[in-house]
Chains A and B, each alone.
Chain A
Amino acid sequence: MTLRDRFVDARQHVQDALDAVSRIKKSEDRVVVKYRSKNQQLNFMCDAEALVGYGTLLDLCSEHTIVIGFPGSAMLECLLNDIRFFPFWDYRLHQQNRYFCMDAVQRLIDTVHVARSGGELYDNLVHQRVYKPGRSKTQLLHQNGIQLHRIVDEILTLNNKINT
C-alpha cells in the first residue's frame, strides 16, 4: 500500500483483471478467483466464482489454465510447471514504498511482461506474452540451486574450519 495505491484502487485492479478476462473468455471457460484467506475474499469481493485456500493454486490448474495475479510465489510455481501466468501489478504505484526493492522489480520486468493496467493485461493475454524476448523459465530459478541442508552443512563446515 502507498498513498497512490489505496484500498479502492487495489479492488479496482481485481475488477480490471476480471474485465480483461471477460473480453477473451469463451462461453465454456470457467473463471475462478482464488483467495488466500477469508479476509482477503472479504476485502476483494467480486462477482466471479470464489475459492479460498493457501498453497492450493496448483491443485486447481491443468495445462490449459491461464492464471493472472501478483508476481509472487504463485507466478514461479505456475511458470515452472508450464502453466501460463500473466503477472498483473502496477509497480509504479509502489516506488515510494521502501518495502519493495525496485532493483528486484526491474530484474523482474526484464524477465517477464508485467501488466500495469487492464489494457496491458488484455494485450498480454491476446498476444500470449509472458516472457520478454530471449527470456524463458530457465531465468526464473537458479539453475545451480543447492538444497538447504547442504547450504547449512557448507556454512557450518566453513565456520568450523575458521574457528579451529
Chain B
Amino acid sequence: MASFEINYDNIRDVDRYLHIDDPDKYDAEIESVTEKLWDGMDEFQELLHPFFTTYLQSNLLRPLYIHHLALQQLQAEYKNIDIAASTIILDIVAKSLDIRLLPERGFHDEEFFLVRNYHFSMSDSLYRRRWKGMLIFFRDIYTELACRFRQVDVLHIDGGKLDKDLSRIPRAMSAFRVPRRKSKRLDCDVNAISDQVRKNISSMDVSIPHECILELVEKGVLRYLPDVMNRIGTLTEFIEKHDVKLVIASSVTHEDHLCLLAAARLSGIKSLIVPHGFSLAGNPFLDRYIDYQATLTSIERCYEGTEQYPLKASWFEREV
C-alpha cells in the first residue's frame, strides 16, 4: 500500500474519503453533545445554554467527526499517512489515529473558519500591544466619565449593517465600549463549570473517541470560558450601575452578543434581538431566553416567548 500525504493542495479534499451508511446517526449524536454540554451547572446551566453551542456543532464538531471518520477510512487504504498541512482538528484526529504529523506542517485554521475572534477576550493581541492597551485604557476612562453625565438607556452590539439604525436610538451606547476589566459580579467557579463540561462529555455515548471531543472543546470553548463569565459580569455591573433599560443584540450565535443577552437576564432587564441580515439559521437555545425579537420577514425563525416586531431596516433602503 502506498503512502498518502495531506498537504495544502489536497487539504480541502480530505472529506472526500468519508463513506458512511448512516450520516444522520452522527448528526444526531453531534446535536446531542451540544444539547447536553452545559448540563448539571445548577443556576448557570440555563444562562450558558445558548453559548458556543451553534459554533461547536457547526464549525467544530462536524468537521471533527467528518475528518475522524474519513481518515479512519484512508488508513484502511494507505499504510502511511503524513500530514504536511493541518488544522486544529486534523491535529487532534491525527494524534488519536496515530497518523504522522510533520513537524514543519502549516496551520490553516482561519481558512476553515476554525478561529473565532472575541471582543471580550482579555488575552487578545490588542491587549498584548502596549500602545493599543494604553489607548483602550484612556478610552475606558473616557467612557466611564461620559456615562456619569449622560444616561444610557440602551446597550447594543452591531453585528454589521445596523450602524445607521442604531445611531438613531437616543441614549444608546455600543456594548463594545463597556470597559473590559476583572469583574466579581458573577459568583461562580469557572474551574468547576469546566470540570462539569468535561464530565458531561466523558459520560456521553459517542462514535469517536471522547479524548478528541474533549480536546476540541478544551481549545474551542473552555479556553474562552473565564473571559465569557468575566464579560457577563462586567456587562451586568454596567447595566446595574447605570440603570440601563434594554439591550439589543444582532447576532444569535456569537458569544459577544450572547454575553450581552446573558447580562440582561441576570440584571432583570429586557432584551431585543434584531437581524443584521436575512438568515434561515438561528440559535435553538434562545427560546424563552429573550424578551423581544424584530424580524425583517415572516419567513425568519421566531423564538418562543418573544414579543414580535416587524422591522424596517435601513440597509434595505439601498437601491441599484
Chain A positions near chain B (C-beta within 8 angstroms): 1-4, 6-8, 11, 39, 42-43, 55, 58, 61-63, 71-73, 75-77, 80-81, 83, 96-101, 103-105, 107-108, 111, 139-142, 144-149, 151-152, 154-156, 159
B16 surroundings in chain A (CB, below 8 A) = 6, 8
A72, A100, A140, A152: the one contacting B272 at CB < 8 Å is A152
B12 touches A7 (CB 8 A): yes
For the A-B complex, the count of residue pairs with Cβ-Cβ distances under 8 Å equals 173
Residues 281 to 311 of chain B near chain A (Cβ within 8 Å) = 281-284, 292, 294-301, 309-311
Asked if A155 meets B312 with Cβ closer than 8 Å, knowing A99-B54, A149-B165, the reply is no
Subset of 9 A-B contacts with CB under 8 Å: A6-B18, A63-B320, A72-B278, A76-B297, A97-B58, A100-B281, A140-B297, A147-B311, A151-B311
Which bucket holds chain B's interface residue count? Answer: 35 or more
B31 surroundings in chain A (CB, below 8 A) = 96-98
Tell me, in angstroms, the Cα distance from A109 to B20 when the chains sit together: 29
A156 surroundings in chain B (CB, below 8 A) = 153-154, 245-246
B298 touches A142 (CB 8 A): yes
A99 touches B284 (CB 8 A): yes
B15 touches A77 (CB 8 A): no
B166 touches A148 (CB 8 A): yes
Tell me, in angstroms, the Cα distance from A55 to B164 when the chains sit together: 15
B310 surroundings in chain A (CB, below 8 A) = 142, 144-146
A154 surroundings in chain B (CB, below 8 A) = 309
* A143, closest chain B residue (CB): B310
Tell me, in angstroms, the Cα distance from A58 to B33 when the chains sit together: 40
Q: Which 7 A-B pairs have the closest CB atoms?
A: A145-B312, A142-B310, A96-B27, A3-B23, A73-B277, A101-B301, A149-B168
User: Does B149 touch A at the CB level, under 8 Å?
Assistant: no
A61 touches B314 (CB 8 A): no
* A61, closest chain B residue (CB): B320
B18 surroundings in chain A (CB, below 8 A) = 3, 6
